[in-house]
Chains A and B, each alone.
Chain A
């Protein structure tokens, strides 16, 4: 208890002394003015020298580097853009030419096809005509033949009939004449 009491008194005494010394603004106490000015000059000179000799050139070079790079990149981009535009134009013209060519090819092909078809049709028509003619001819021939055949068959049938009915074969020439007469009459 006594110790604590002593401590409090000591503290109070110390505090009073400090407060007395600190009356007013410490800034106006010139005791440490030279020291502060001196250290300020020393430390600030140090910073100034380091900043002006090392750091500012470094930052500046880096900024310049970046600016250069950006400018170069922009230029390159511009160049590439122009080039790509050129290429696009070329491509478009190529496509245009291709389209024209394709149209031409289509038109040509169509014409050729038409011609081909026409020709084929003509050929076929000619062939059909020929065949028809030959068929007609054949039919006519056949008709003629058939008439002759019919007369001979009828002669035979007639002579046979006569033979069967009368027991003797008739005269061939008279049968023929009779049949031809009948054919003429019936106008076959």
Chain B
């Protein structure tokens, strides 16, 4: 049972079955780890903002660094107009980061390794960005599919490509995070299984790989959260500033 590398992704019910209008909305281990991430985030921010010291304590410094990091990311990619969306990007980045990092603990569950979770985020961002674009620019927002400076002959093809690329945004956004997390954790599990099956003599090599992969996975966990947030910023930038 433990040898199956996909077992770690199994979702199971915790507590009673909750059913609303015939849909199963039970509290699962995925929900549990979302909740743990949320609690950790809120704890970090609570202790980070508890006392307003001129010279910050470590936790305060952490929350302020996080704030400055995301503020800089948004102002670099989406400009000043994106300021109202700062809390959303902040929450998004922090939540995905904590879910990814929490998944790095042994025997824990990685919330972001499920396509439905990342797809929910990606669809929300996609729909939200489209709504923002249409409310700001009206029908002119459709110009995003018609790049300027393209020969008339190529325009229909380019437009079709642009539309496809626009529509594939939620898919690429969600699959990138989900596939990265799933692949990384599966690989860790497979190498971990090899350590056991190859035993004392041959097990050292996969163990070394396992250790190296853990480091890599921590990097990936941070990087994917960053990529998710920065792509959201870029989509927002497209909707706010209409570069085409």
Q: Which residues of A contact B (CB under 8 A)?
A: 15, 18-19, 22, 24-29, 31-41, 43-44, 46-48, 50-52, 54-56, 58-63, 65-66, 69
Whole-angstrom distance from the CB of A119 to the nearest CB of chain B? 74
| Inter-subunit contact A34/B4 (CB<8 Å) | no
| Inter-subunit contact B90/A56 (CB<8 Å) | yes
Alpha-carbon distance between A60 and B112 when the two chains are bound, in angstroms:
29
A to B CB contacts below 8 Å, 26 in the list: A15-B1, A22-B10, A25-B9, A26-B11, A28-B115, A32-B13, A33-B116, A35-B24, A35-B25, A35-B27, A35-B30, A36-B117, A38-B25, A39-B31, A40-B117, A43-B35, A47-B95, A48-B88, A55-B48, A56-B86, A59-B49, A59-B67, A60-B67, A61-B52, A62-B60, A63-B68
Query: Which 10 residue pairs across A and B have the least CB separation, nearest first?
Result: A52-B87, A39-B31, A58-B49, A55-B45, A32-B11, A26-B9, A48-B91, A33-B116, A43-B34, A62-B52
| Inter-subunit contact A27/B116 (CB<8 Å) | yes
| Inter-subunit contact A36/B11 (CB<8 Å) | yes
Q: Does B189 contact A (CB under 8 A)?
A: no
Would you call the interface of chain A mostly helix, strand, loop, or mixed? helix
Q: Does B130 contact A (CB under 8 A)?
A: no
| Known contacts A22-B10, A56-B87: A32-B120 contact under CB 8 Å | no
| Inter-subunit contact B30/A32 (CB<8 Å) | yes
Q: Does B180 contact A (CB under 8 A)?
A: no
Can you list, as one digit per residue, whether each of B9-31 has a CB less than 8 Å from chain A (1) or not (0)?
11101000010000111111011
Alpha-carbon distance between A26 and B41 when the two chains are bound, in angstroms:
27
Q: Which residues of B contact A (CB under 8 A)?
A: 1, 4, 6-7, 9-11, 13, 18, 23-28, 30-31, 34-35, 38, 41-42, 45-46, 48-49, 52, 54, 60, 63-64, 67-68, 86-88, 90-91, 94-95, 111, 113-117, 120-121, 178, 182
Residues on A with C-beta less than 8 A from B48 are 55, 59
| Known contacts A47-B91, A62-B49: A27-B114 contact under CB 8 Å | yes
Alpha-carbon distance between A184 and B45 when the two chains are bound, in angstroms:
139
| Known contacts A24-B6, A59-B64: A50-B182 contact under CB 8 Å | no
| Inter-subunit contact B91/A51 (CB<8 Å) | yes
Seed contacts A27-B9, A29-B11, A35-B31; 19 additional CB < 8 Å A-B pairs: A22-B4, A26-B9, A26-B11, A31-B11, A36-B28, A36-B31, A36-B120, A39-B25, A40-B34, A40-B117, A44-B95, A47-B41, A48-B91, A51-B90, A52-B91, A55-B45, A55-B63, A59-B64, A69-B54
Residues on B with C-beta less than 8 A from A54 are 49
Residues on A with C-beta less than 8 A from B86 are 56
